[in-house]
A and B are shown apart, each in its own frame.
Chain A
Amino acid sequence: MHGSGKDYREKLKKAPSKDHGNGKRWRGALWILPSFLGVLVFYLLPYADVARRSFFGAVDNQFVGLANYQAILGNTAFRLAVKNTVKFTLICVPTLVLLALACAVVLYQSKYGGVIKSAFLMPMALPAVSVALVWRLLFHSQGLFNYWLSHFGMEGRDWMNGQGAFWILVGSYIWKNLGYDIVLWMAGLSGISENIYEAAKVDGAGEWKCFLKITLPNLKPSLYTITVLSFLNSFKVFREAYLVAGDYPHEGIYMMQHLFNNWFRAFSFDKMAAAAVLESGVLLVLILLLQKAWDSGVE
């Protein structure tokens, strides 16, 4: 107001007003307060209750210390579910991420990429019940898949009640989520400036070199997001598995959610709570590690 704008800016630098900074912070806090309240009421407080329950009995509410944790760590069903869930995640998430990247790169360069991208998104729009019905039609011991195999002289079997169930689940997960990851990758690709590619081509770089040296490094921010989202989506595959195979599927696809589902029905809230706390702790560590890796990559 008085003096030049430059003087004003210098004044601010030298003696920034505390009131001015605090006011900004309070205003920011007020803006996120409604959302935070929702998170507090619907996530944080219930989680705290779950954590509390993990130290108490299921129905009688007696304090039992670490007994629930000991019980679940020694529980063979829990160990099987953890093993299957980890195995599923380690196979599905990298496969999905890499496959989606490859498809996104191809589609990005194609003039029909937009249309085909939409087609990839269709599986995600299908209800889980419809998918489960199709599974049954295809993979039942008297289903279409065995019928096709018989035409090739091969013997069919009950795919959902054998080792094949796991790979069907993997295939279903990838089929359903591929479009989603493709869209995210393509968004990342569109954020890379064309000038960099042009400059590289002028310098004599080929397609593969461009991909390695320009595309991949610039997609690292997207990699973190896509990996976390794919990881979270991997838990949703339980819906189809449950609809097709019920409460007790083949041991190859018996996941953590199956266990939680059955424990809930049997009033085993104590074990559920302990398992939930352990699982959330592992997930939190994983996400923090990923974030650290991404941060160090960015630096």
Chain B
Amino acid sequence: MKFRKLKRAAGIVLSMALVLGSLAGCSGGGAQESGDGGAGSSNQAGSGGGKQAMGRFLEEDVTLPIVLSTVYDMKKLEDGTIRILGDNGDNGARTIWDSKDSGVNWEKAFDVPAEIQDQGDGYVDHAALSSDGQSIWAYNKIEDDAITQILYLVSKDGEVSQVPFELPDAKGGSSKSFEDGEETGDGGAGMVKNMVLDLCFLDPGQVLLKDISDIIYQINVGDGSVAHTYDFSGAEDTHQIYMAGNKLVVATSTEVLVYDTETGEQQQTEEALQKSVSESGMLTAVDTVDAGESIYCLTGNGLYHYKFGGSVMEQLIDGTMNTLGAPAFYPIALTMLDEENYMVAATDLNSDALGGITLLRYTWSADTPAKPDKELKVYSLYNNRELRQSVSKFQKEHTDVYVNYQVAMSEENGMTVSDALKTLTTEIMAGKGPDLMLLDGMPIKTYMEKGILKDITSLFQEDSGSYFENIRKAYQDSEGKVYAAPARFFIPMAQGGGAYYTPGEDFASFTSKQGVLANMQPETVVEKFWYSCGASWQKEDNTLDAEKVTEFLSQLKNAYGEYNGSAIEDTTAVAISEGGAVNELQKVSLSWGDFDLAFGRVNVNVGLYGRMDYGMLDAVNKKLGQGDYGLMPGQAEGVFVPAMVIGVSSKSAQPETAEAFVKYLFSPQAQKVSQLGGFPVEKESFRSMVDGHEYDNRDSDMRLMAGGSAAGSDEMLSYEMVPTPEEDIQKITKMVESFSVPALQDDVIKESVVEQGAKVLKGELSPEEATDAIMQKVNIYLAE
């Protein structure tokens, strides 16, 4: 009886637990807060049933009366003046400008004294402003083939004095050689014992400066005495220094350390600040308005506010909605005008401005929705920097649109392409798919056949003369409809000496030279020639022509010769690929083989060319003696590699907005964005990328030294950065105009060919055996 009651009670309790557990599991996830309310909040979508959250920071450009080619620092002074230090782009003078109305109007304060100007005996890399208008300049004086660092203090009104402080020699003992501020090796020309790599004012009487050993010195500018030293010389990561009141904030890519500058002691770790670095990225600029009680900081994800001792890192500006999150945007200084207005000085590599210098102001607009009404979902398998940059600019011009850019593959999620595509399939069929897709790496033809992509022919009716239509309409179907269009492309190119390569020769002639492709990684060789040959393998019924594949492998093997693993290990290409994370396109890039070709480790350099570097092309040609470049020989003629292929989903919830974004991506403004993702299809932008106009009007003695390789540090290729000669511009343009066939983009076939082809080049399989293996796998794929 007792046990029966016990069992009944146990049964009831367990049943209740089961029911409650199920209900708890069914409840929605907690809402994620990006910040609290008030003037500081932004980007919170309206929750629950009702009102949409209002208030957002709007971005606008700030224009100065002059063009600055460099900005060293920008600060709001004690009297409310905004002061900026920079180099005048017109005459190169180091200059200081002020604004007394929060950046609306500017006037020159003064040009810095002659000691700091470029007199031909030195240069300035770093300078900083104090709150009372003083500035400190780290001048690198060159004399007797050595560089000496001098610190100049300039008062608010322009009087100069030297700070009696000499940097001790860099820890580690050996002196380094530097050129234009970049370390080029040990000893030799340009020897320097130490240099300032970062500096900022603690208060008008003290400065913090960081040397090349990552040691931070807190010095008194009056007598040059060292108050405190913060030694990070043993660390692997670089340390950036920022001031917040009397706190020194030292930031790396993984942590943030806070020091009390009065005592020199490290303060308790700020957990929330630390966590945010790992989530939002490294701090790039910092400012404070309350004597260091809290800080405002920029990261790649936007602007954040943090109160020391707090537990929340509040996001004030979402970087994905404006320029702050753009890939080529590098903040130099953040200036808080007040809690509702900020200014940012930055380098934007995709800006047309000289040196890429950009000044932006962010103003709180209480009437603007926190998040725009329209959300445009953009999807790509891999991160595309051109697209990301374009997203920032598009949103700036269309403040009513929020572009939600989703990248499927990243290092963190470990997803495979197959998994990502299956997830995408699920989302599309559930009606939650993206509006616009970047189709690189996706089965474009399958999507076209299945009706997943919208007909966007109407978007390409106008201005056809302004584009390389042979490329833009690469995916036009038999009825003339366009469902996908590449916004960029790569040129399969080759470069070599006269004995090994002649521009225009066909694949058979090229590969008849035994060993012409020796000492290259087999997988990379097969992949590169896949682009120039694969397009000819597909029969009309979409099956592969086994004979052509066998012919390809046989000829390639003849050109490759005997496999020599140790020689391949010595090449620069291998060294670069082993040095860090590289994407697939980088591995097959032409530029990776430059040094190997120039210094004789390979006979011919082949690869995809997506960025004009005339200087290097020319330097290699000259080194070879009679070198030349041209299209990569291939079994197919007129082949190009489409990139950034855009398609609009036929199930898009925002078709008009998606089409507007497509139009924007093909506009000159977006086409001129260059992040190594290929040449633009818009002719004017293509010319602009190829002609080297950015090197016009430079001093004739300006030279760039490029050097270093795995084989030895004494390998140098030096060349002048000059505009591309018209002859070469025409040569490249004619190549592009000759294109008629997009490279075969099927990754399943490519992987199989590369895998088996590499075995052929290594001598493990015959071409016939490899073809059988390829056909067996590919036939299943094609039969599906």
Contact = CB atoms under 8 A, between A and B. Distances in A.
A247 B748 contact: yes
A248 B780 contact: yes
Interface in B424-463: 425, 428-429, 443, 446-447, 450-452
A161 B777 CA distance: 10
Given A75-B784, A265-B421, A59 B748 contact: no
A77 B783 contact: yes
Contact of B418 (A60, A247, A263, A267): A247
Given A248-B777, A265-B418, A59 B451 contact: yes
Contacts of A60: 451
A76 interface: yes
B110 interface: no
A92 to B, nearest CB: 22
Nearest to A251: B776
B783 A75 contact: yes
B781 interface: yes
A130 interface: no
A163 to B, nearest CB: 12
B650 to A, nearest CB: 8
Nearest to B423: A265
A150 B372 CA distance: 67
B450 A77 contact: no
A267 to B, nearest CB: 4
A77 B784 CA distance: 6
Contacts of A77: 780, 783-784
Interface residues of A, number: 24
A286 B447 CA distance: 37
A132 interface: no
Chain B interface residue number, banded: 20 to 34
A280 interface: no
Contacts of B428: 267
Contacts of B418: 246-247, 261, 265
Contacts of B422: 261, 264-265
A289 B783 CA distance: 33
B781 A248 contact: yes
Contacts of B783: 75-77, 80
A17 interface: no
A246 B443 CA distance: 17
Given A247-B748, A248-B748, A266 B780 contact: no
B773 interface: yes
Nearest to B651: A59
B780 A251 contact: yes
A80 B450 contact: no
- The CB with the most chain A CB atoms within 10 A, among B452, B776, B780, is that of B780
Interface in B722-751: 748
Interface string A229-263: 00000000000000000111011001000010111
A264 B425 contact: yes
Interface string B747-771: 0100010000000000000000000
A200 interface: no
Contacts of B777: 248, 250-251
Given A246-B418, A247-B418, A266 B776 contact: no
B366 to A, nearest CB: 45
Contacts of A247: 418, 748
A58 interface: yes
B425 A268 contact: no
Given A247-B418, A251-B776, A266 B452 contact: no
A265 B246 CA distance: 58
Given A59-B452, A248-B748, A267-B425, A161 B784 contact: no
- The CB with the most chain B CB atoms within 10 A, among A248, A261, A264, is that of A248
B451 A266 contact: no
A239 to B, nearest CB: 14
Given A59-B451, A161-B773, A247-B418, A267 B784 contact: no
Interface string A260-296: 0111111111000000000000000000000000000
B450 A58 contact: yes
- The CB with the most chain B CB atoms within 10 A, among A262, A264, A266, is that of A266
B768 to A, nearest CB: 16
Interface string A63-101: 000000000000111001000000000000000000000
B586 to A, nearest CB: 24
B437 to A, nearest CB: 13
Nearest to B424: A265
A2 B28 CA distance: 60
Contacts of A254: 780
Contacts of A264: 422, 425
Contacts of B421: 265
B686 to A, nearest CB: 35
Interface in B296-336: none
B604 to A, nearest CB: 30
B781 A267 contact: no
A42 to B, nearest CB: 15
A267 B773 contact: no
Contacts of A75: 783-784
A265 B419 CA distance: 9
A82 to B, nearest CB: 13
Contacts of B450: 58-59, 266-268
Nearest to A267: B450
B784 A266 contact: yes
A24 B418 CA distance: 53
Contacts of A261: 418, 422
Smallest CB-CB A-B distances: 8 pairs:
A77-B783, A267-B450, A76-B783, A77-B784, A59-B451, A265-B421, A266-B446, A248-B777
Given A59-B650, A80-B780, A267-B425, 4 more contacts: A58-B450, A259-B784, A262-B781, A265-B422
23 contacts: A59-B650, A60-B451, A75-B783, A76-B779, A76-B783, A77-B780, A77-B784, A80-B780, A80-B783, A246-B418, A247-B418, A248-B752, A248-B781, A250-B776, A254-B780, A261-B418, A261-B422, A263-B784, A265-B418, A265-B425, A266-B443, A266-B450, A267-B447
